[in-house]
Structure 1
Amino acid sequence: MQERIKDRPDDSIGLRKLVLYRDVVLTEAGEAPAQPARRASVAAVIRNPWVGVGPSADLSEQQGQVAPVLAKLLTERLIGALGGVDEIESFGKAAIVGTAGEIEHAGALIHTPYFGNLVREFLQGESIICFADTRAEAGETLIVPLWHKTHAATRSHYQTISARVSDAPRADEIVVIAAASTGPRPHPRIGDRMTDPVVSTETLEVVPS
């Protein structure tokens, strides 16, 4: 009973459920990577506070009320799922709006300082957080992009994780997602922006047409 109460952080945001997904890649191409790749996503299914208000409505009041609660709720569970904030190296965010809402409602929650700045702070990052958002019916899979939380140009950490809630979002709901990884893709070896040669149409002898 105590655990159930603990998992209800704030009824005011209309939280219906939380979904945690975690995976660990132990081998790739028949070999173990230098370090096991652990990834996780946490999705919060909440009621859409803006359903039916019209495209000229001011969204700012609910942003300040709902988004900070989601940022804390999701990052706490990511940190717990991946073994601590110091273990997390890359992050991403996403939202799926139900069919009765606007795509702008996704942005209102994840593309503002009330969410993005706090997720970055809680996960001890510095990079802009890469993202995905869409409007869809329940059960839609969304591919959430990730990159390094302090060095966004680190190509080894460009990766994705699939997020899906089988019964959400309902038409009047929003699914808000935070995702993270403890390391790079298995066996990264495609170079890095800091060490790549200069490549342009002038430096190449042949440019495919």
Structure 2
Amino acid sequence: MTFSDYVAPPQHELINVRRTSLNVETIWHERGPRLEVPLTLVSAAAVVRNPFAGRYEPDLLQFQTTLRSLGSFLAHQLTSALDGREVAVYGKGAIVGTDGELEHGAVWHEAGGWALREALGEPKAIVPSSKAIGNPGQRLLIPLHSTRAAYVRSHFNTVEVGIQDAPRRDEILFALAVGTGGRVHARVGGLSADEVQGNDGLR
């Protein structure tokens, strides 16, 4: 992705973006044979003000729906960084600052997952997720699995995300992640990618 591809993140009464991050990892081997084409893992994150910091809000659904635009923005960052390469794995995650609650990160289940699946042509497998309460610099491992079938064992993986000064107490870090394949030296059996029937998102 070049600077000319840059699109500003969405801004809304409920979405105040302080900073974003895009990270690309290229993995050639894990001490085994070197790959001819490396595995690429990409994560995109946005740090936003938590509109409910320090108080209990019973209705989070408007925030959840509004966050779809942020999910679409991050999904675009991911697909642009892959420059046309096929996405084989995906995942999502959130870190909520300490003035928030875990449920403020749970809105990302629908908003981030919906946006990522829409950007990728509606793959059937559920988008795996993790979330945590944390301080600035907290790292989060986002689980990955196959976009086509969750039982593809070779594609179980993780991407680490985090930003040095986020989330602050009144912020939330939302992230999406994708990759071009499974683990580089996967060899523990299970359903293989070429055996996927693709009917139910599981097998």
Identify unmatched segments of 5+ residues in structure 2: 193-203
Give the Cα–Cα distance (whole angstroms) in 1 for the partners of residues 43 and 105 of structure 2: 17
Contact 1:33–1:187 (CA<8 Å) still a contact in 2? no
Aligned to 1:100: 99
Aligned to 1:33: 35
Q: Deviations over 1:135-161 (max 9, x none)?
A: 000000101110000111111110011
Output the amino acid matched with 1:146: L
Does structure 1 retain, via aligned residues, the 8 Å contact 2:9–2:73? no
Q: Partners of 2:6 and 2:143 in 1: how far apart?
A: 32
Letter in 1 for 2:136: A
Secondary structure in structure 1 of the residue aligned to 2:23:
strand
Shift of 1:72: 0.5
The residue aligned with 2:166 is: 168
Determine the structure 2 residue equivalent to 1:74: 74
Report the residue type matching 1:105 in the other structure. H
Cα distance between partner residues in 1 of 2:37 and 2:154: 13
Task: State the identity %.
Answer: 35
TM-score, normalization: structure 1?
A: 0.83
Query: How many residue pairs align between the two structures?
Result: 189
**How far apart, CA to CA, are the structure 1 residues paired with 2:6 and 2:40?**
29
In structure 2, distance between residues paired with 1:68 and 1:147: 22
Q: Determine the C-alpha separation between the residues in 2 that align with 1:3 and 1:78.
A: 15
After superposition, the Cα gap between the structure-2 partners of 1:4 and 1:151, relative to the gap in structure 1 and judged at 3 Å, is: closer
Please tell me the residue identity of whatever aligns with 1:74.
L
- Structure 1 residues 4 and 138: CA distance shift in structure 2, 3 A: farther
CA contact (8 A) 1:153 1:193 kept: yes
Contact (CA 8 Å) 1:50, 1:59: kept in 2 or not?
no
Give per-residue Cα distances to partners, 1:106-152, cap 9 Å, x unaligned. 002x122x332222121232111111100000000101110000111
The superposition leaves residues 16-62 of structure 1 with CA deviations (integer Å, 9 ceiling, x where unpaired) of 111111110123214213531100100100011211331x5211122
Tell me the SS of whatever aligns to 1:165: coil
How many Å separate the matches in 2 of 1:19 and 1:118? 18
Deviation at 1:89, TM superposition (A): 0.5
Instruction: Structure 1: state its 5+ residue gaps.
Output: 195-209
Distance 1:29 1:165 in 2: 28
- Conserved? CA contact 1:101–1:171, under 8 Å: yes
Runs of 4+ in 1 over 3 A off after TM superposition: 2-6
Equivalent residues of 1:34, 1:186 under 8 A apart: no
Q: Which one has the largest radius of gyration?
A: 1
Counterpart in the other structure of 1:188? 186
The match for 2:11 is 10
